[in-house]
Amino acid sequence: MEFSSFLTSLGTSFIIFIILMLLFTWLSAKRGNAVVYYPNRILKGLEPWEGGLKTRNPLAWIREALSSTEQDVINMSGIDTAVYFVFLGTVLGILVLSGVVLLLVLLPTASTDDEVKKNAKSTTSKGTFNDLDKLSMANIEERSPRLWAFLIAVYWVSLVTYVLSWKAYKRVSALRANALMSPEVKPEQFAVLVRDLPDVTPGQTRKEQVDSYFKSIYPDTFYRSLVVTNNKKVDKIWAELEGYRKKLARTEAIYEESIRKGNSEGKRPTNKTGFLGLCGKQVDSIEYYNEKIKKMTQKLEAEQKVTLREKQLGAALVFFTDRVTAALAAQSLHAQMVDKWTVTDAPEPRQLIWTNLTIKFFVRIVRQYMVYILVFLTIVFYMIPIGFISAITTLENLRKLLPFLKPIVDQVQIKTVLEAYLPQLALIIFLALLPMFLLFLSKIEGIPSGSHVIRAASGKYFYFSVLNVFIGVTIGGTLFDTLKSVEEEPNSLVPLLAKSLPGNATFFITFVALKFFVGYGLELSRIVPLIIYHLRRKYLCKSEAEIREAWFPGDISYATRVPSDMLIITIVLCYSVIAPMIIPFGVLYFALGWLVLRNQALKVYVPSYESYGRMWPHMHTRIMGALLLYQVTMLGYFGVIQFYYTPILIPAPILSLLFYYVCRRKFYNAFCHTALEVASQELKETPNMELIFRSYIPPSLIPEKQEDEQFEGALSRVSRTGTFV
């Protein structure tokens, strides 16, 4: 890549970001777009624009993001989001403090040597990128005393990472403890999840088995149990009933709209009762859906009774009257055998994956290892499915598989376009589906909660990204450029790979710049969600529920966002000493990310769960993994360029492993369980145990009638937003 091309690509990315930011400033000021740019504030009953729209400065969002406090983030988006900003701030601090020394010391050290001029062929840039090569270790002569500066810099970056990540771990631990010590009642703090129940003795129900077992162990604080049932059929009926209710709301909205348009009596909507509404008897939609709802309600009530009586399974949620007992129970060994009476912390009600709760202990272990093997094969051999997809998407194979497409694909213009882009498009779609595939794999492991599934998928995606983007690009690009040299002299492979690192830095600098300029520009402008919302509202949405569904933003998507951030920190750390010019781009990525996502967290995204910072140990592990990869890379690079004092770097990865071990031993247990000193804090009022119990009942099992006593009188219809005190 020519230096002018490099500058052009950066300039283009910057211009795109400015355009997208101006679009955001203009579009977010329009009242009709408020639900796209301020949904979080609207859902909390706040005004979209602080201080009013008329007096609002176009760049006010920057001031609001910078002036917001950690408590503001917690109030709007929860502890998990606040922890994510601790991560962004920590990584930003690591890069800034590292960059202050590395840029001031290493750039002059590298630029004043002349190795590039002496041996231009040794650079992977092949003479086309000398301007940047002169600012990297490629410009340092082998065995030069100047390498001391770079060697010391490796330890400086490591030291900064140790200090700041330690402080961050302490900060996140305090955030988690403060949240769990809150005097507000949280249902999950009064419950435990019990799995791997033994077989029921004759003459005893599953509920009697669970109740008697826990009453004998916790006679004073045991409240009641909720046995998990096979809800497959009742869920299907409930979903069908909810579908008819949505259709009724839609038809009623259409009818009301016809009245508003001038017809006093209005035009009542009609539909056909046959397949997909295309055939069959023409009926009045409102009457038809009301009748369907009445029948489905009766069917649901009957199936609820059958489910609760006959479909009890081998798992349960057990409730206690105080937080300390629940925390103690979740940390205790209840049975001699590890595969019986497994008790863990209960997730939030909205997080539970009901179908996974009854998977047996050893089945979960087998599934976990099978998923690990499958993920490993996906990471290592991912080119196989990609090659398969590319093969079947050639025009010749499409003609064989889908003969009806022949008249279309044989047209010259269409044929030319498809031959050029179809395999690449298939590849892009496959890679875009990867996060969904990893979420699916994590779910089938038997994980009981949604947040845990996201943490597991995030880890898998991180390893895939590092191995196939970072290492794959480095090794693949070098082998492609130097294939002839390797064929002639196979022993030159390792030195060639090492010497290619400075040249590969230019690719990653462009990659990082594209990520923060274009990626965060699209994030801020929300162009795609805005277009989708207006199209759906104009052509598809009729009822208020449909309109709300069209603009509802979802959460911050940690499953893909965190691994992407981890990939950037891995790239920047690994090249920070080899090519220090990458550090400013890493700083810009995380600084801009902090600013844009601060705005999104305060105004846009709505959290779908709260795990009280449980993502942090996984973030810390990935940071340490990136640091370890950086240290091993530098150790190998210094060895290849034959610096005599390279062995001085050997303790660096050992220190990192030791530091990680100390952090895990000191902090990690408090993230797995709730400390008893935290759980023992007093509450404002005595908790309403009935409401806590009801909050865990699946929606499909909540009775339609308040007087129904299917759960021994405990299951009346309740509001999920009601207080628990």
The rounded distance, in Å, linking the Cα atoms of 643 and 147 is 7
pLDDT at 705: 67
pLDDT over 60 (residue 398): no
- Say if residues 684 and 184 touch (Cβ distance below 8 Å): yes
- Say if residues 339 and 360 touch (Cβ distance below 8 Å): yes
Mean pLDDT for the stretch of residues 310-326: 93
Q: What one-letter code names the amino acid at 363? A: V
Q: In what order do the strands lie in the sheet with 191-195?
A: 222-229, 312-320, 191-195, 342-345
- For 558, other C-beta atoms within 10 Å of its C-beta total 24
pLDDT over 90 (residue 712): no
Mean pLDDT of the chain: 82
Span 402-421, pLDDT tens digits: 566 566 656 655 555 454 44
pLDDT interval class at 507 (50, 70, 90) = confident
The rounded distance, in Å, linking the Cα atoms of 714 and 707 is 10
- Say if residues 37 and 1 touch (Cβ distance below 8 Å): no
Q: What one-letter code names the amino acid at 277? A: G
pLDDT at 472: 66
- Say if residues 449 and 354 touch (Cβ distance below 8 Å): no
Span 429-456, pLDDT tens digits: 566 678 888 999 999 999 999 999 999 9
H-state helical runs in 311-382: 323-330, 361-380
- For 384, other C-beta atoms within 10 Å of its C-beta total 11
3-state secondary structure of 274: coil
Span 71-107, pLDDT tens digits: 999 999 999 999 999 999 999 999 999 999 999 988 8
Span 685-709, pLDDT tens digits: 888 999 999 999 999 998 876 555 5
Q: 666: which 2 tokens?
A: 């000191």
CB neighbour list of residue 591: distance below 8 Å, 6 or more residues apart: 92
The rounded distance, in Å, linking the Cα atoms of 325 and 189 is 10
36-52 per-residue burial string, b: 16 or more CB within 10 A, e: under 16: bbbbbbbeeeeebbbee
pLDDT at 143: 73
- Say if residues 563 and 462 touch (Cβ distance below 8 Å): yes
Quickly tell me which residue has 């369980």 as its tokens.
673
Q: What one-letter code names the amino acid at 690? A: E
Mean pLDDT for the stretch of residues 336-354: 93
Task: Count the residues in the chain.
Answer: 725
- Say if residues 347 and 333 touch (Cβ distance below 8 Å): no
pLDDT at 411: 60
Pairing of strands 270-272, 282-284: antiparallel
Q: 337: which 2 tokens?
A: 């055998």
pLDDT interval class at 108 (50, 70, 90) = confident
Quickly tell me which residue has 């009981």 as its tokens.
448
* Residues 45-51: contacts with CB under 8 Å, at least 24 apart: 48/603
**CA distances, 33 to each of 15, 30, 42, 53, 231 (Å):** 24, 6, 12, 13, 40
Question: For residues 132 and 442, which has the higher predicted lDDT (pLDDT)?
Answer: 442
CB neighbour list of residue 341: distance below 8 Å, 6 or more residues apart: 194, 196, 197, 198, 213, 334, 335
Q: What one-letter code names the amino acid at 474? A: T
> DSSP per residue over 10-47, as a string?
HHHHHHHHHHHHHHHHHHTTSGGGHHHHSHHHHHTT--
pLDDT at 126: 41
CB neighbour list of residue 244: distance below 8 Å, 6 or more residues apart: 289, 292, 293, 296
Q: 85: which 2 tokens?
A: 């900003």
pLDDT over 60 (residue 487): no
Q: Helix, strand, coil: what percent of the chain each, to 5?
A: 70, 5, 25
Pairing of strands 312-320, 270-272: unpaired
Question: For residues 147 and 139, which has the higher predicted lDDT (pLDDT)?
Answer: 147
Apex 528 CA angle, 524 and 530, nearest 5:
80
Calculate what percentage of the chain has a pLDDT beyond 90.
48
Span 154-167, pLDDT tens digits: 999 999 999 999 99
> DSSP per residue over 410-475, as a string?
TSHHHHHHHHHHHHHHHHHHHHHHHHHHHHHHHHHTT--BHHHHHHHHHHHHHHHHIIIIIIHHHH
Region class of 447: left (phi > 0), else alpha (psi between -120 and 50), else beta = beta
pLDDT at 258: 80
What are the residue boundaries of the structural domains of the chain, listed by start? Answer: 3-182+493-643+656-668, 187-347+675-706
Q: 493: which 2 tokens?
A: 């492979």
CB neighbour list of residue 605: distance below 8 Å, 6 or more residues apart: 40, 77, 81, 553, 554, 555, 556
Give the N- to C-terminal CA distance of the chain in Å, as an integer: 65
Nearest to 78 by CA among 44, 124, 111: 44
| Residue 554: DSSP 8-state | -
Q: What one-letter code names the amino acid at 334? A: H
Nearest to 613 by CA among 272, 171, 234: 171
Span 172-230, pLDDT tens digits: 999 999 999 988 899 999 999 999 999 998 888 899 999 999 999 999 999 999 999 99
Span 644-658, pLDDT tens digits: 888 899 999 999 999
The rounded distance, in Å, linking the Cα atoms of 386 and 312 is 43
Q: What one-letter code names the amino acid at 681? A: Q
- Say if residues 48 and 34 touch (Cβ distance below 8 Å): yes
The rounded distance, in Å, linking the Cα atoms of 620 and 659 is 11
The rounded distance, in Å, linking the Cα atoms of 137 and 501 is 9
pLDDT at 120: 54
Nearest to 267 by CA among 257, 277, 258: 258
Q: Which helix (H) or strand (E) holds 460?
A: helix 450-465
- Say if residues 142 and 118 touch (Cβ distance below 8 Å): no
Mean pLDDT for the stretch of residues 294-298: 92
Quickly tell me which residue has 């939609």 as its tokens.
285
Span 599-658, pLDDT tens digits: 999 999 999 999 999 999 999 999 999 999 999 888 888 887 777 888 899 999 999 999
Nearest to 320 by CA among 220, 227, 228: 220
The rounded distance, in Å, linking the Cα atoms of 319 and 192 is 7
CB neighbour list of residue 540: distance below 8 Å, 6 or more residues apart: 546, 550
Least confident interval from 12-26, 74-88, 126-140, 534-548: 126-140
Q: 387: which 2 tokens?
A: 């090659």
Mean pLDDT for the stretch of residues 143-162: 90
Mean pLDDT for the stretch of residues 477-495: 53
The rounded distance, in Å, linking the Cα atoms of 14 and 517 is 6
Calculate what percentage of the chain has a pLDDT beyond 70.
79
Least confident interval from 246-250, 389-393, 502-506, 561-565: 389-393
3-state secondary structure of 322: coil
